[in-house]
Structure 1
Amino acid sequence: MLLSQPILSLLALSIASVDALPIQQFSLKPFSQEALDQYNVLRFLGTASPYVANPGYGIERDALAQCKVSQANMIARHGERYPSKKKGEKMIKNLASIRNNTEQVEGPLAFLKDYEFRALDAAGFEKETSSGPYAGLLEMYKLGSLFRDHYYELYEDGEDIKFYAASSKRVVESAHKFAEGFLGQNYNKTFVKVIDEDDEKLGANSLTPVTSCKNYNKKLHKDTIKSLSESYLDQIAERLNNESPGINLTADAVESLMYYCGYDLNVVGSKEICDIFTTTDFLSYSYGKDVEYYYEKGPGNNMSSIIGSVYINAVIELLKDDTKNLTLSFAHDSDIFYIISNLGIFDDGDLSVKHIDFNHLWKVSNIAPMGARLIIERLECEGSDGDYVRIVLNDAVIPIPGHSDGPGFSISVKEFEDYISEKLDGHTYAKDCGIESGIPTNLTFFWDN
């Protein structure tokens, strides 16, 4: 059907009017409609991930107007690092076929034959990184500066302060860098107090009480963990081998490449290895890490919460101590996992090993990436009879499920103490860990030193 001249004229005028509109203004939306963080690879790298903030629930980080933070107790993981000696040597073994490949390789993975795996330099194993966009030492320095700025009311120059560190070299270095950032020109290396993490005689008076817990069995659920299918590794290997003939990847090599992705970011800041894989690949990989840590060091192990109670019981005493307003501690991811297990903030039941549970809360990258930090705040609020407790994990406020009726979804100090006591249900570190007579059964160094 032919359009009449009046209609054609009107249509032409309409098109001209649309062309004249400032179309670019439609892109200036006040709020993004995208959810790009679901594709952030840092969410899938487990404990090897550079620091990434917890996604949280949208609760404001600052205390409510009628409240002030009167105490902050932080325990942090060391900053970004090279792989451990054990894990590094395993990656070297699994990737040897790639690094020594003499065949002609074609396709997108041809670069691997000549790739410089800088994070596998044995001289760097166990050490914290000092260069690159995710430099661990720099991140800890920045954290110290930002922490001082956020909690400026809790410390004045010249006041007595200590930074407690487990004795691993990278943990001690992290504590020193944090202290430098926190204190600036007033920093003195004597402010860092090192606690031997391998001394079993310290018992509970340690940042690493697992050392003295004879009844803790990391491999208690090894059969459960192993029952989780790793067929996805074979599928990835087959796909990549088809895309790049001659590369001849094994399932073990695929797993090591996925693990190496995090360390390539920590050491170099390169994402070339990460880009080999899709987020679908990483979903399966990350769920395997979640399952592993859940049953080894998380709520799935019967001793995790008990070990974590050592630090939490000390914090409960701190919350009731008006002479203390700041404690700063540095340890390992394992120690944070035990503490989180005791808090129960990500315990929504056992993780399935039959299929991926996409809605589970226990997500390792959100809990203990490199540089993870757990802060337990005491709040004083106008019009309230008592104080409140708020948990901040990796820059996100995390309420205790079923116990968040206080200001800003906090919990009263009394209710928090009762909650932890009920959760332990009569279990104690001394009894359940089999602590010998004469060995400390409580953490007291916050008051001793």
Structure 2
Amino acid sequence: MATLLNIISLLTCFFLSCSTAEEATSSSKVNITELWGAYSPYFDAGTYLAPPTGCRIDQVNLLQRHGARFPTSGAATGIISGISKLQNVQNYTDSGLDFLKTFAYSLGVADLVPFGAHQSSQAGALAFTRYSDLVSARSLPFVRASSSPRVVDTATNWTAGFSAASHHVYNPSLSVILSENGNDTLDNSMCPNAGDSDAQTDAWLAVFAPNITARLNRWAPGANVTDTETYSLISMCPFHTVASFVPGAALTLSPFCELFTTDEFAAFEYSMDLDKYYGTGYGAPLGRVQGVGYVNELLARLTQTPVNDSTQTNTTLTANRVTFPLDRTLYADFSHDNEMAAIYAAMGLFPQVAALDPTHPAPRGRTWVASRIVPFGARMIVERLKCEETQTRFVRVLVNDAVQPLDFCAEATRKGKGVCELGAFVTSQTYARSGGEGDWEKCFA
């Protein structure tokens, strides 16, 4: 029999059109794991296409984000606060919260979770399967990683997966770890004046969160959950889901996911879009300059010429052919989502016709979608192609297996959409080749 609080809640919802926890679940209609922004587990954004007829791949550059992890310490603080408020309530008006009566928060901090390790190993195996023709005992993948433990662990899981797929014939190792306390092209920590995306994400939070917060507080009278804690509770859905992964079993959604609707996850996704766009993407005055160093390293590998950069590169390492070889056929670098967003922007990928608006819902057709460009385990692959009828080389760029149009390249349609003559690709990277057109100096002015 419904309690008095249940009846009051039902009558309130009749007039306010609010959801129950049962109605909030969205997994039956939409794969909500693809609506978790940068917290989405890796998924293909497109179907991998073979190179154009008559062309073969002769070099591959892989840039990959670390796999799924625990919340950072800052994110964990908000999550624990929100959960504690809900658990301090004696009687819930919706049974969807009942699991909290016995729930105990036990997540770690920032480290790779087993699911992240699993997907990283899968990525390594896929790389061997797809590009095994480029590998030999004398030409193993050259592997680097930024120094965060979760990034290093992702790299070593990738090498393990690569090795296993080759039946342990080819066993690449992690050759270089770039310290995040020094010059590092795989981390966005070298621009003191960069700023952040707080103003934009706070503005969007004030738009989409209040109705969700009100509903949670109706379900848990007296909890007094805040909008910021609501965001944290939504994030518990992806974090708890990936942390609960059991090897050999399918990924199972956390009960926290049942508390929110598809539209609410879409709004959460847009918050992530804004965060990356105004954090290190096109919307940040000093965002894309933080990707210049990596782009210049990429150009050096593609053209097999010394690195020309005065921004993030560690010149001691890049000047040494042991720590920065130019004769490999497969390079693999492991990084963070914020740095990858900066690299995309520096290259000219995922341009927006209009800046993302933090006070209105996400525009349809936007190209900058965090779950599609920087999910956990995200990967950008730059393939260098050699075609039969000419000695000219070409370039393709794929992000999460989706071939990028390279509209910024004057020769992008010579061999088909997304295929650019190497010289034209290099020419197109004027922002990186100029050292950021003066933006790097602004990082310290």
| TM value normalised by structure 2 | 0.78
Displacement of 1:327: 0.9
Change (3 A) 1:377 1:83: same
**2: CA distance between counterparts of 1:320 and 1:198?**
29
Equivalent position of 1:383 in the other structure? 389
Residue aligning to 1:207: 186
1:350-372 deviations in whole A, cap 9, x for unaligned?
10123122321111111111111
Contact 1:108 1:244 survives alignment (8 Å): no
Look up the equivalent residue of 1:261 and give its one-letter code. C
Equivalence for 1:111? 98
**Residues 415 and 180 of structure 1, relative CA distance in 2, 3 Å threshold:** same
Residue number in structure 2 paired with 1:68: 56
Change (3 A) 1:430 1:288: same
Larger Rg belongs to:
1
Structure 2 SS opposite 1:383: coil
Q: Work out the CA distance in 1 between the residues paired with 2:274 and 2:243.
A: 26
Matches within 5 A, 1:77-116: 77-101=65-89, 103-116=90-103
Partner of 1:283: 266
Other-structure match for 1:323: 327
Cα distance in 2 for partners of 1:38, 1:295 equals: 31
CA offset at residue 149 of structure 1? Answer: 0.7
- 1:217 aligned onto 2:156: no
Match 1:156 to one of 136, 141, 145: 136
| Structure 2 residues without counterparts, runs of 5 or longer | 1-26, 245-251, 305-325
Task: Read off the aligned partner of 2:286 and give its amino acid letter.
Answer: M
Deviation of the 1:172 alpha carbon:
0.9
Q: Deviations over 1:145-196 (max 9, x none)?
A: 1101100111113535431111111111111111111123357685442121
1:35-434 mapped onto 2 (5 Å cutoff) = 39-54=30-45, 56=46, 60-101=48-89, 103-116=90-103, 118=105, 120-121=106-107, 124-130=108-114, 135-184=115-164, 185=168, 191-199=174-182, 202=183, 206-208=185-187, 210-214=188-192, 216-219=193-196, 222-228=198-204, 230-242=206-218, 249-268=225-244, 269-321=252-304, 323-348=327-352, 349-356=354-361, 357-403=363-409, 404-409=412-417, 410-421=419-430, 423=431, 426-428=434-436, 432-433=440-441
Aligned equivalents of 2:213, 2:198: Cα separation in 1: 25
Aligned-residue offset at 1:335: 1.4
For residue 299 of structure 1, what is the amino acid of its counterpart? Y
Counterpart-to-counterpart distance in 1, 2:340 and 2:440:
19
Aligned pair in 2 of structure 1 residues 115, 189: CA closer, same or farther (>3 Å)? farther
Q: Is the 8 A contact 1:265 1:271 kept in 2?
A: yes
The alpha carbon displacement at 1:83 in A equals 0.8
CA separation of 1:317/1:197 partners in 2, compared to 1, >3 Å: closer, same or farther? same
The verdict on how the C-alpha distance between 1:44 and 1:213 changes in structure 2, with shifts beyond 3 A counting, is same
The 1:432–1:248 alpha-carbon spacing in structure 2 relative to 1, beyond 3 Å, is: closer
**Counterpart amino acid of residue 195 in structure 2:** K
Letter of the 1:207 counterpart: L
1:114 and 1:71 map into 2 onto residues whose CA distance is 55
One-letter amino acid of the structure 2 residue matched with residue 236 of structure 1 = I
Deviations 1:264-306 (A, max 9, x none): 1210143321122111111222112211221111111122222
The letter of the residue matching 1:171 is V
Change (3 A) 1:306 1:413: same
- In angstroms, what is the RMSD of aligned CA positions? 2.7
Q: In 1, distance between residues paired with 2:144 and 2:301?
A: 15
Indicate if the aligned counterparts of 1:180 and 1:187 stay in contact, CA closer than 8 A: no
Deviation of the 1:427 alpha carbon: 4.6
Contact 1:179 1:187 in 2 (8 A): no
Which deviates more from structure 2 when the two are superposed, residues 334-343 or residues 180-189? 180-189
Cα distance, 1:417–1:189 mapped onto 2, change above 3 Å: closer
**Normalised by the size of structure 1, how large is the TM-score?**
0.78
1:407 is paired with a residue of what secondary structure? coil
Q: Distance in 1 between matches of 2:206 and 2:91?
A: 29
Change (3 A) 1:376 1:264: same
**Inter-partner Cα distance in structure 2 for 1:290 and 1:260:** 18
Distance 2:349 2:273 in 1: 15
* Residues 25-61 of structure 1 deviation map (CA, whole Å, 9 limit, x = unaligned): xxxxxxxxxxx9993212221111211222x4x6x52
Residues 212 and 433, structure 1, Cα contact 8 Å, conserved in 2: no
Question: Whole-Å Cα distance in 2 between the matches of residues 245 and 308 of structure 1?
Answer: 47
